[in-house]
Amino acid sequence: MRTTLVAALGLDRAIGKDGDLLWHLPEDLKRFKALTTGHTIIMGRRTYESLPKGALPNRRNVVISRSLPSLPDAEVYPSLAAAYEQLEREGVAEAFVIGGGELYAATLPHCQAMHLTIVEARFPEADTFFPEWRSEDWVELSRTSYPQDERNPYPTYVLQLERRAAE
């Protein structure tokens, strides 16, 4: 199964504070919806709890949690390994990991691709961060810039990265 990380992060790798995002970027949310709709998304418990309306519609929502026994609108697995085992058994071709910080750190060494929105600002108040990655391990497939506008308070650029093949 192909694993793709999807994240928005500041220049300092900040992704959140107190279980919430640090920004509101409607255009990036549209891109996220277009990318993940119809697919399996994997998230940690705190990311699930931060969703204002629960599970994201038109996606298979998988939550990794050692403390939640079940959810009415999502599948719960006690570990990432258990979720992967089930998804692979079902023949799921690709899963998108959507957060949070601990889950990104656990999946980064094994994922094949990343879609990263880089918010061109720093967020010193952040308490959650995307893990560091070695740029030499990745091939940049595309980079698209989006200017700040009346609805999107920060300029951003979106990177599509593919893991470099082992030599």
pLDDT at 166 over 80: no
**pLDDT tens sequence across 20-34:** 999 999 999 999 999
With b for 16 or more beta-carbon neighbours within 10 A and e for fewer, the 25-57 pattern comes to: beebeebbeebbeeebbbbbbbbbebeeeebbe
pLDDT range class, residue 42, cuts 50, 70, 90? very high
Domains in the chain, start-ordered, CATH in brackets? 2-163 (3.40.430.10)
